[in-house]
Amino acid sequence: MIKKTMALLTLITIVFAAVPVFAQEEKPVAVSIQTMEKKATEKIELSLEDAISMALENNPRLIAADATIKSAEMSLVIARDTGDEYEDMEKALKKIPGVSLAVNISNGLEQAYLKHGYYIEAAKVCVELATMAKSQVEAAIAYEVTQKYYNVKLMESLVEIASTGLKVANDNLIMMENQFEAGYVPAIEVQNAKNAVIRAEYTLSSYDRNLELAKKNLKVSLQIDDYDCDVVLTEEIVMPSMPENVEELIKSAIESRYDMTAAKKDYELKTKMFDITKFYVTDKTAMYHSAYSEYLNAEYTYNNAVEMITIALESEYASILTAADEIIACENDVEVAKAMYESRKTMYDLGLITNLELTGVMAELDSSRMQLENARVNYALAVVKFFYSTTVGI
């Protein structure tokens, strides 16, 4: 009985430790890893939902989570079997006059914990936490994919802005060369226009490379990084509305998040263990103080977690507000830059400013547009992150 009890305790400990505290038109292929052949060039059209589903399909992290759940379920079976054996033995001994199944303190109160169902309760908690841990892994994968999906869309927008900037720079160069040949502008104006084209080409090349890297990064999360395929993202970045009833969401998160549930359940188990321990031993024993210490630490950990998670979620919401303000500021900057460009263009056409001044304003307009795209993505991801943070957590 004692050996089986110790084995059970070891299994439950292991399970607790295992639980952690997202040209020509081609016909799109089915969005499934199973339908793809490695090294076969394919065009894969993906919505965000498609991408998340693909990332979740046969994901090693989820397979590992399932194994943890299975281990926890097996520990629960052992806990129940051991508890039943203890009850059967206790009932049998009660039928013998003058004989009882006394708790053996020298064996660390294992029999007492069996008698009061501590191991069964701990095993149930392990199953619950392992199941929640899998949900948290799913949420983390979904958020990770959303981040990478939106980053690809961001890079596509920046490439488009840079392409437009290069076209404007080339058109400006042609105009400067024609005016130079007509004797209207000095050679320095042509050289400045050429430099503007070179800078625009460098900018476009940089964003082209970043786009390819962003796609490769997404393919890793989709588990298709070793497939020769072109990922085409069909869904634009969704600008979500501002979260409402934030205080209620934060309060709900204290009950629904995996890490909070783990801390709460640990506190409840340590409380039960201490209650059992102090029933059988006095404060003159090491076992009493060991159980008391674990109870106090669990109590502090839970109460501290409530405070820290609340602050963390309030901070995340503040980040959403900051990101929303940044969008407004960037939109204003774009409008100012547009007006400035139109004004400088008119002044240039009238011969009041040089081409050097005009190209400087053009660069400012492109920069403000890029900052706006960055701000939009930051806001969208902040809202998505807050959603996951106020449910199971990520």
pLDDT digits (tens, 9 = 90+) for 319-353: 999 999 999 999 999 999 999 999 999 998 888 88
Least confident of 83-92, 246-255, 280-289: 83-92
Task: For residue 394, tell me if it sits in a domain.
Answer: no
Asked whether the beta carbons of 54 and 32 are under 8 A apart, the reply is yes
pLDDT digits (tens, 9 = 90+) for 144-193: 999 999 999 999 999 999 999 999 999 999 999 999 999 988 999 999 99
C-beta atoms surrounding 263 within 10 Å: 23
Region 83-97 average pLDDT: 70
pLDDT of residue 18: 43
Task: For residue 173, tell me if it sits in a domain.
Answer: yes
Task: For residue 52, tell me if it sits in a domain.
Answer: yes
Asked whether the beta carbons of 286 and 349 are under 8 A apart, the reply is no
H or E element that contains 176: helix 118-181
Find the angle CA(70)-CA(74)-CA(76) to the nearest 5 degrees.
115
Count of the separate structural domains present in the chain: 1
- Domain residues for the domain of 356 are 2-22+24-389
Find the angle CA(374)-CA(378)-CA(382) to the nearest 5 degrees.
175
Half-sphere exposure of 196 (CA within 13 A, CB side): 29
Task: For residue 116, tell me if it sits in a domain.
Answer: yes
3-state secondary structure of 101: coil
Task: For residue 80, tell me if it sits in a domain.
Answer: yes
CATH number at residue 351: 1.20.1600.10
